[in-house]
Structure 1
């Protein structure tokens, strides 16, 4: 046991990097007790996080194990989150993971994603037109960063335009449970989202369209591999959540980082050809996967020379690994000209994000179009007044900007 505490409170989320750096300097893996009493081995160094992501002894089904392990606390929110997502790619291990990923890759093709470019550009331009016609000061998250990804993922999946409801529920689903009110909100959000996904499957089965979800339903009916109903609904929910929420933060966190590094913002304004590659640097520097990904040790193992016992919960800190100076030169410095390949913002190995191509497409179009339309854009409040929400996906509550 340990007296160290990784504080899940506003001060940590506003700037988690000093805490993560201190843990990184203290050792390869540290046993940390969170305020809810659950203990995690937090792994922070790049090579160890990379090894941990690829280690089959670290199960992705951490929520399943938390719900089933009588020694760990079980809350309504954990149960609802587990029931809603336990059959999705994010939370399962081989061989089921291998089978499902093979099927989904066929529907999530490069050709389909690349074909979205004109539509993503049109959506970005339409949103920027609306912003230009409004007040000079606006919330960039509300007006742009959240609207573009939800419209894109809804069109890709063939989802009706329930944008406002989906945005509200995905935000609630990703919050940190800190009290009874937030627990209830999270539980209700996951319940609503799973019911929504299940009904969406029924509707698509009756009236299929030219969209990814209809393709998944068609694949389900083929003889060479089946998605059962629960898997299909979980997959639809995962694509809705991951395809929207993380891209919101990519755009929001990325623009905030640029506002705080005006030299880098100016570099992109004068050299816009750098923007596609700069998306990876922005993800490395302050991406949405923060502090990291949850795993469960199914066997005793050693990471970075530290013995981790069977049954332990392990947090592989992607955010800390992406700031590891042994892997990235000047790791705490934003440099949009650097080659940021190798960052872990999209995962690794069998858990490498299926939506990587779409995220890069949306990020580069969103940021590039914004800077072309509003080259004088700047923060409308002091940088230290920007606030980050409580959640295991790092993102801003708002980003007030002046457009010119």
Structure 2
């Protein structure tokens, strides 16, 4: 199926409503319809009423995300013919976030940068997430996991405990905060702020201000009292050569590492646990199959990963990518949830198969993105997921849902798939 030669709603049909209840409550069925509809499907961003394009197929998504002509930051296009607004910034400001703080989420954010700034900052941070360093963290990840599992019965009421609240969130927030250097007494605040920041209609302004000011205080403390943590290493880099990391970049980086370092992993654990509980044959495979843990995380990330869409990419010129005609200044989002369920890449995609991914191969799914902005902490997230799933079911082999699956609620957020809670009975 070829893409429209002109990226207009009239060429590709009416725009997708990202708040359509079907899109929010049963996205996989919607993705099937969107893939059949076209390789590029228009949608309207909430709050800015601006049309963007959803890339629905696997090969197209990979191509768009790996093409260097696609920009995360549209600033160079702003004054040119066919220019583009920074739609993410407009959305943040429309939601009431003050510009002086929103800049930490956009202007200075590694997630919204292009080369050479993105390459410069990523180079410094990536040293903390090498395979060797992540492997060295595993004993501590296992220790934290075991401690949380020990405490689960204390949180149970009539034998029921919310696994999101008392296991899925505490594990990754503890790990990333220890790595970055956030004191234990401040971690619950970071967790609460992170939740509020992505909750529409909530006190997002106060959450962002709280996060940014706390990050500034932590940076100031590490300047006077260095420690063996990532924050100290980043500050040292900054102070030795101020051109490497600006003050805003340093604050934004701390904020991004902590928020991105626990939100996605928490909901991978939540979504994955539900998937295993409702697929007993696959849970049996996890518990008995040799060396299935890493492969299981790959398949769970593909089948029920929490991130279903990327940040916008802007076409820097009129171009053709994998046969798609992209217009200069056009805004495009790779629909990861659809790409990861594209039958052209994954036969029978809605069949959960923990042995689907061959052992020892880099994952084929795009749950962690693709290209230059591939998730920095993917190796750590995979490790945390593997430890969480294997140890959880080893400790509680009779774990079961405490409510019917159809009664479980998901957060109503476009491009995300995350349980609001997961009540289970400990076995």
| CA deviations over 1:169-226 (Å, ceiling 9, x no partner) | 1012223x4xxx34xx223322221222122111111111011111111122335962
Q: Is the 8 A contact 1:246 1:393 kept in 2?
A: no
Q: Which residue of 2 aligns with 1:194?
A: 212
Q: Which residue of 2 aligns with 1:352?
A: 374
1:100 CA displacement:
1.0
1:17 CA displacement:
1.1
Partner Cα distance (2:189, 2:241) in 1: 36
1:332 CA displacement:
1.6
Q: Which residue of 2 aligns with 1:361?
A: 383
Equivalent pairs, count: 398
Instruction: Pick which of 33-42 and 393-402 moved more.
Output: 33-42
Partner Cα distance (1:166, 1:72) in 2: 25
Instruction: Pick which of 297-306 and 282-291 moved more.
Output: 297-306
Instruction: Pick which of 215-224 and 379-388 moved more.
Output: 215-224
Q: Which residue of 2 aligns with 1:388?
A: 410
Q: Which residue of 1 aligns with 2:195?
A: 171
Find the residue that maps to 2:53 and give its secondary structure: strand
Do residues 44 (structure 1) and 56 (structure 2) align?
yes
Q: Is the 8 A contact 2:270 2:418 kept in 1?
A: yes
Do residues 102 (structure 1) and 123 (structure 2) align?
yes
| CA deviations over 1:276-315 (Å, ceiling 9, x no partner) | 2210110011112113332222322334544332222211
Do residues 128 (structure 1) and 149 (structure 2) align?
yes
| CA deviations over 1:53-86 (Å, ceiling 9, x no partner) | 1122322236997765799775133847741222
Compared CA separation, residues 259 and 294, structure 1 to 2 (3 A):
farther
Q: Which residue of 1 aligns with 2:6?
A: none
Runs of 5+ consecutive residues of structure 2 not aligned to the other structure: 1-8, 79-83
| CA deviations over 1:25-57 (Å, ceiling 9, x no partner) | 111101123454231100010110001111223
Q: CA RMSD in A?
A: 2.5
TM-score by length of 2: 0.86
Do residues 113 (structure 1) and 141 (structure 2) align?
no
Find the residue that maps to 1:369 and give its secondary structure: helix
Q: Which residue of 2 aligns with 1:84?
A: 104
Instruction: Map 1:145-294 to 2 at 5 A.
Output: 145-161=168-184, 162-175=186-199, 177=200, 181-182=201-202, 185-223=203-241, 226-271=244-289, 273-294=291-312
TM-score by length of 1: 0.91
1:107 CA displacement:
3.7
Runs of 5+ consecutive residues of structure 1 not aligned to the other structure: none
Compared CA separation, residues 81 and 212, structure 1 to 2 (3 A):
same
Partner Cα distance (1:335, 1:170) in 2: 32
Q: Is the 8 A contact 1:8 1:34 kept in 2?
A: no
Partner Cα distance (1:196, 1:108) in 2: 24
Instruction: Pick which of 79-88 and 236-245 moved more.
Output: 79-88
Q: Is the 8 A contact 2:336 2:366 kept in 1?
A: yes
Q: Which residue of 2 aligns with 1:7?
A: 18
Partner Cα distance (1:127, 1:165) in 2: 19
Instruction: Map 1:68-79 to 2 at 5 A.
Output: 74-75=93-94, 76-77=96-97, 79=99
Partner Cα distance (1:367, 1:43) in 2: 32
